Amino acid sequence: MLLPRFIVFLLIVSPRAFGAAVDAVNQALERDLLPLLEQRCMDCHDADAKKGDISFEFLRQPGEGRHDIRLWGKVREQIRAGTMPPKAKPPLEGAQREVLLKWVQSNENAVLEMPATRPGVARSRRLNREEYNNTLRDLLGIAKRPGDKFPADGAGGEGFANNPDTLSLSPLLVEKYLGAAEEAIAEAWQRGELRQRLIAPVTSDKLPPDTGAELALRPFLVRAFRRPPAEPEVQALLNVFRQAWQRRQNWDDAMKVMFKAVLVSPGFLFMEETAREGAKEPRRLGAYEMASRLSYFLWSSMPDEELMRLAAENKLQEDAVLEGQVRRMLAHEKGLAFTKNFAGQWLRFDQIFNNVDPDPRKFPGFNGELRQAMYDEIFSFCDHLLRHNGRVLDFLDSDYSFLNEALAKVYEVPGVKGKEMRQVKFNNARRGGLTGMAAILATTAYPQRTSPVLRGKWVLEQLLGTPPPPPPANVGQLPEDDRALKETTLRKSLEAHRNKPACAGCHTRLDPPGFALENFDPIGQWRDTENGKPLDATGVMPGGRAFATPAEFRRLLMEEKGLFVRSLCTRLLGYATGRTVELHDQPTLLRLEKVLRDGDYRSEALIIAVVKSEAFRGRW
C-alpha cells in the first residue's frame, strides 16, 4: 500500500525543506500534470477504483508524498511501454506523454537535491543463521556450523534475511541455542589449541579460580559482545562460573559452563542498537555499533581486531577510514560472505540446491557435479563484479562467464578442462549476463519443461525491480510436463492462456522475457526444437521493441539499465541497513544511482557510497 508511507513521509519532512526546485515541481504538477491525470487516469486510479493498487487522489493535496520516485518510476515504465492507458482506451497524445515524462524527470532532479539526513529507527535484531555460524567460527575457531540446525530465517525488507521484522525468537530457537552453545564449546575444548586460545590470559594454574575465570572472561566478552561489556554483565557471568565451580569443583567444567552462558546471552545473540526515547534528531552510530554494522554488511560476521581497534580509537565515522575499510574488507576472504548472502538472496541462485530436480529420464546428464558447477559459475561471476570493482551492467550482458569442464560441455564451449572455475570468453552470442546462466535457467523451470512465466517473472522482479502482481484466482495452470501438451506447443498454450481478459495485462509484460529464453532447456542447454517442433523464441517487449535471439533480448535489457540500476541500488541499500527502503531514503537512493552512473557502473564506489550514507551510519 502506498498511502501509509506517504503519510509517514509527510510527518517527518517539512514542506519548506527543499527549496525552489521542489516548489517549481509542485507548481508544474498542479498546472500541467494534475489536469492530465484527472482527464485520463483518475477514472481507474481514484480512491474507489484504485486499479493496480494505485490511486492518484493524494496528489490533490500538497505534501511530499507527491514526490515518490518509486511510484513515478512505475508510471514512467507503463507510459514508455505503451501499456497505460490500456488498449481499450485512446493512447496519450505526444504532447501529453511529453508533459508526464518531463515532470517525472524533473521530480527526480528535485528529489536528488533534497537533504538525506533521516536514517532508520534504531532496532536490535538477532543474528540470522549464517551470521551465527560465521560469528562462532571467528570467535572460537570452530569448523562446525551448529546454526544450520536452526529453523529457516524469513526474508523481509528488500528480500533479505537480516530484517528485524522476520528474525523472531521462538521457544524452539531458544532450545536450539542451548544445544548449539554446548556443541560449539565442546568442539573448542576438544581441540586443545582452541581451548588454549580461550584461556590464554590465565598465565598460571596457581591463581584463585575466580581470578583465572575473570582474566579469561573479560577479553572474550569484548569480542563476543562486539563491544566493551558493562560491569553488571561481567559479574553476572562470573556468578555463573562460581555456581558451576561450587557444584563441580572442576575449573575446566566451570569455565565451559561460563563460556556457554556467554553464547546464549543477548549481548552475543543480538545486534544491538540503542534507541533514544524522545529524541528530536537522529544520531550517528556509536563506534562499536559502526564496527558491527560494517562487519555484518560485508562479512556476515563479527568485527575483526582492526575494526575493534578503530572503534576503540573512535575513527569509524571518518570518511577516509570508512573507504579504506570497505576496500580492505571486500578484498579479504571473508568478503565471500557478501557475495553469498547479498547476491545469493537477491538473485536466488542458492535455490539450485533446494528447488531444482530435473527429470532424470529427460536429462540424464544432470548430476551433483553439474549442479555444483552451475552454482559456482554464478557465484564466481557475482563475486567478480561485486568484490573486484566489476562493471555491474555485466549482470545484464557480457561476453564471458566462469566455467569448468562440466559446465563448458553443457554450454558447448570448447577447450575448457578440469574442475576449476575460470573466466572464459564465449565463442558466440547465445549467452551473456545472468539470463544465460544455467543456475537461473534451471531454478526458473519445472522438472520436465521450461517456464516462460517463471523466467519472465525472475527478469522483471530480480533484475528490473518491477514485479508483476500475483495472478488472479482460478485462472488455470499449464501442465508441468510438456508431453501433456500433445499436438500443440508450450508457447501456443501460453498464448491461449494470455487471451483471457484476466490474464492479458500481466502476461504482456511476463511472457516476452520468458520467450526470449526458450532456446534454453530446463538445465540450460541450447535447443532449437521443443518435442520435435521448431521453437519460436521471438517476442515483442511492451512498447513494440522486438527481438529474435537471446542476444537481441539482452540488448533490450541494456536499454532498461535505468530500471536495473534502481533495483540494484534499492536492494543493496536494503541489505546494508537491514530494512525496507522507505520514502525518506529517496534522496539517498538517487545519489547512489548517480554514483554508479558517474563511476562507469563500477561496484566499489557504490558500496563505499552506501557505507558513507546517513542511512547506513546513522539511527533515529
Q: How confident is the model at residue 503 (pLDDT cuts 50, 70, 90)?
A: low
Partners of 160 in beta bridges: 156
DSSP letters spanning 43-55: TTSSTTT-GGG--
* Residue 414 lies inside a defined structural domain of this protein: yes
Calpha distance 562→393 (Å, rounded) = 10
Q: What one-character DSSP code corresponds to residue 603?
A: H
H helix runs in 318-401, sequence order: 319-331, 336-338, 344-347, 368-387
What number is the average pLDDT over the span 136-162?
95
* Residue 53 lies inside a defined structural domain of this protein: yes
Last residue of a domain, one of 528, 559, 590: 559
Q: Sign (positive/negative) of CA torsion 577, 581, 582, 588?
A: positive
Asked if 545 contacts 556 with a C-beta cutoff of 8 angstroms, the reply is yes
Highest mean pLDDT among 202-216, 324-338, 525-539 belongs to 324-338
317 and 368 share one domain: no
pLDDT for res 523: 98
* Residue 590 lies inside a defined structural domain of this protein: no
Q: What are phi and psi of 594, to 5 degrees?
A: -65, -40
Point out the least confidently predicted range of 305-319, 484-498, 594-608.
Answer: 484-498
Between 384 and 494, the higher pLDDT residue: 384
Contacts of 193-201 spanning 24+ positions with Cβ under 8 A: 193/141, 194/140, 194/141, 194/142, 197/141, 198/140, 198/255, 198/259, 199/255
Cell numbers describing residue 437 = 546462466
pLDDT for res 509: 84
pLDDT for res 542: 81
Domain that holds residue 439: 357-559
Calpha distance 403→373 (Å, rounded) = 8
Q: Taking the complete model, does pTM exceed 0.95, yes or no?
A: no
Calpha distance 424→420 (Å, rounded) = 12
513 and 374 share one domain: yes
* Residue 456 lies inside a defined structural domain of this protein: yes
Q: Is the predicted pLDDT of residue 3 greater than 60, yes or no?
A: no
Cell numbers describing residue 70 = 518509486
What number is the average pLDDT over the span 148-159?
92
103 and 215 share one domain: no
Q: Is the predicted pLDDT of residue 193 greater than 70, yes or no?
A: yes
106 and 130 share one domain: no
Between 115 and 136, the higher pLDDT residue: 136
Residue from 530, 451, 534 nearest 483 by CA? 530
pLDDT for res 170: 93
Cell numbers describing residue 530 = 521443443
* Residue 348 lies inside a defined structural domain of this protein: no
Give how far Cα 499 sits from Cα of 66, 227, 264, 475, Å. Answer: 36, 61, 57, 11
What number is the average pLDDT over the span 126-145?
98
496 and 514 share one domain: yes
Q: How confident is the model at residue 1 (pLDDT cuts 50, 70, 90)?
A: very low
pLDDT for res 586: 94
pLDDT in tens, 569-587: 999 999 999 999 998 999 9
Asked if 568 contacts 394 with a C-beta cutoff of 8 angstroms, the reply is no
Q: Is the predicted pLDDT of residue 154 greater than 60, yes or no?
A: yes
Q: Is the predicted pLDDT of residue 399 greater than 90, yes or no?
A: yes
211 and 263 share one domain: yes
**For a pLDDT cut of 70, what percent of the chain falls above it?**
92
Which contiguous run of DSSP H or E holds residue 534?
strand 533-534
Exposed/middle/buried for residue 507 (C-beta within 10 Å: 0-12, 13-18, 19+) = buried
407 and 476 share one domain: yes
Last residue of a domain, one of 65, 90, 112: 112
pLDDT for res 472: 66
What number is the average pLDDT over the span 496-502?
60
46 and 128 share one domain: no
Point out the least confidently predicted range of 444-448, 454-458, 487-491.
Answer: 487-491
What number is the average pLDDT over the span 427-446?
97
Point out the least confidently predicted range of 147-161, 244-258, 338-352, 530-544.
Answer: 530-544
Calpha distance 7→583 (Å, rounded) = 10
pLDDT in tens, 281-313: 899 999 999 999 999 999 999 999 999 999 999
Query: What is the pLDDT of the chain when averaged over all its residues?
Result: 90
* Residue 584 lies inside a defined structural domain of this protein: no
Asked if 214 contacts 242 with a C-beta cutoff of 8 angstroms, the reply is no
SS3 content of the chain, % helix, strand, coil (to 5): 60, 5, 35
pLDDT for res 19: 67
Calpha distance 281→179 (Å, rounded) = 42
pLDDT for res 497: 58
pLDDT for res 596: 98
Q: Is the predicted pLDDT of residue 52 greater than 90, yes or no?
A: no
Last residue of a domain, one of 112, 140, 173: 112
H helix runs in 66-199, sequence order: 69-81, 94-112, 129-140, 171-190, 192-198
Calpha distance 226→475 (Å, rounded) = 53
Note the Cα 551 to chain centre separation in Å.
27
* Residue 576 lies inside a defined structural domain of this protein: no
* Residue 521 lies inside a defined structural domain of this protein: yes
244 and 154 share one domain: yes
Q: Is the predicted pLDDT of residue 436 greater than 80, yes or no?
A: yes
205 and 305 share one domain: yes
pLDDT for res 71: 87
Point out the least confidently predicted range of 241-245, 421-425, 477-481.
Answer: 477-481
pLDDT for res 5: 37
224 and 138 share one domain: yes
Q: Is the predicted pLDDT of residue 4 greater than 50, yes or no?
A: no
Q: Is the predicted pLDDT of residue 555 greater than 60, yes or no?
A: yes
What number is the average pLDDT over the span 380-393?
98
Domain count, the chain: 3
Point out the least confidently predicted range of 72-81, 196-205, 334-343, 478-487.
Answer: 478-487
First-to-last alpha carbon distance for the chain, in angstroms, is 24
pLDDT for res 13: 40
H helix runs in 29-82, sequence order: 34-40, 69-81
Point out the least confidently predicted range of 75-79, 143-147, 517-521.
Answer: 75-79
Cell numbers describing residue 137 = 567460527
pLDDT for res 494: 66
pLDDT for res 14: 40
Q: Sign (positive/negative) of CA torsion 427, 432, 438, 444?
A: negative
Asked if 517 contacts 435 with a C-beta cutoff of 8 angstroms, the reply is yes
